[in-house]
Amino acid sequence: MRNLFVVLFCFLLIACKSEGKQEQKQNQEIMFHEDSFQNILALAKKENKLIFIDCYTTWCAPCKWMDKYVFINKDVASYYNKNFINVKLDMEKGEGLKLRDTYGVKSFPTYLYLNAEGELVHKSGSKMSVERFIEEGRNALNPKKAIGLLAKNYEKGFLNLDDKVQYAIMLKGADGAKSKKVLNEIYSEVDSNYMQTYSGWKIIEAFTDNNQSNLFKTLNNNKKHYTEMAGIESVNKIYERVLLNDIYSNLEEKDSLLFFSKLDSLKNVSLNSRTVPILHCDYYLRNMDPENFIKTSNYYVDNDLKNDPETIAFIARSATRYSQPLNHKVLEQASVLITKAYRTESPSYGTVSTYADIQNKIGNKEEAIRAGELAVKMADTISSKIKKIAEKNLQDMQ
């Protein structure tokens, strides 16, 4: 009897530990169900939940990034495990092939939110932060923000003006042509008083992209009003976007006074510490001015970018894209820059592969091959597609 009691006690202990581990795992990462699509629909109906589908491919680097940094976040896990039936589907095999066509999945990752009838409630995609990914989940559960529900109500003529604004904004990243159609419809209905409201501000925030548009003029003429409404950072983000579009469209013009006037304006509104250094260096590269490129890149590396090896590597990589054959002074400076980035504590795959490429270009074959081999190993943790590129680069060096 005593032995039977011990056996039962051990069985219960093991069961409790197993249940505890399962609960702990559920709190630490999204729990993805592995079952047929029909069974998933049935489960969603039984639990009265929406279905979240992560549409991925094996070669998709942003998909792997989401796996590594977002799906295992405890806040994400808590929210998605509580509110959704979660599924991962490879879009290149099995049921993924059919669902890819059914729901118009054209890029990866794509996130589908479906009801128990298999109807699209919400759709989004791309690599995103923990906060934004949770926000997408909230949007899916909010009838006023879920793009699938907004689409149905729009077609039925049920959306008021504020809802149309929300719909146009949600469409912006998913269907640009449809977004423009809805936006033009909104423009035909609004007046200057409406543009002073919060919904008017949301239109300006989402769709202002050049300094010749009526939206930009409205913002510029009422800057104080919108600053009080949304805050200076939000207003400056729009000015930054407009300036960047203007600068990039005229980057190869040799009017240095105009370029530096715009760059100075950008310095006053940009919240991104890497934007100005990249543009400043890029200007000299595009206009084939090695001396000023060297002087300028050295200044930023020693000051603004001292603790930003990724941006230093980006500038070094940019230096190899202009003037073929490469100007030897530019190439030497690219080598100086990428070496500084490479010698940081934990260089990224991009930095390592760029270092290998530049070492190869300056004739340092042995070092290039050593870095190329490291890049191949690092690519193993990213995607099969990236690994093939790394292997091809290494082969070209040997």
Catalytic residues: 60, 63
- 54's CB contacts (< 8 A; 6+ apart) are 32, 63, 66, 71, 86, 87, 88, 89, 109, 111
Q: Which residue has the tokens 């370029």?
A: 259
Q: Is 42 exposed, middle or buried (0-12, 13-18, 19+ CB in 10 A)?
A: middle
Q: Is 44 exposed, middle or buried (0-12, 13-18, 19+ CB in 10 A)?
A: buried
- 261's CB contacts (< 8 A; 6+ apart) are none
Whether the upstream peptide bond of residue 325 has omega within 30° of 0, thus cis, is yes
State the virtual CA torsion across 171, 172, 173, 177 in degrees, nearest 10: 80
Cα–Cα distances in angstroms (integers) from residue 237 to residues 73, 139, 341, 345, in the given order: 28, 23, 29, 32
Q: Could you tell me the two tokens for 106?
A: 């054209």
At residue 82, φ and ψ (nearest 5 deg) are: -75, -35
Question: What letters, b where the CB count within 10 A reaches 16 and e where it falls short, cover 203-219?
Answer: bbbbbbeeeeeebbebb
DSSP strand pairing (120-125 vs 84-90): unpaired
Instruction: Give the closest residue to 277 by CA, choosing from 263, 288, 289.
Output: 263
Instruction: Give the closest residue to 240 by CA, choosing from 201, 202, 279.
Output: 279
In this structure, are residues 134 and 76 in contact, taking their beta carbons and an 8 Å threshold?
Answer: yes
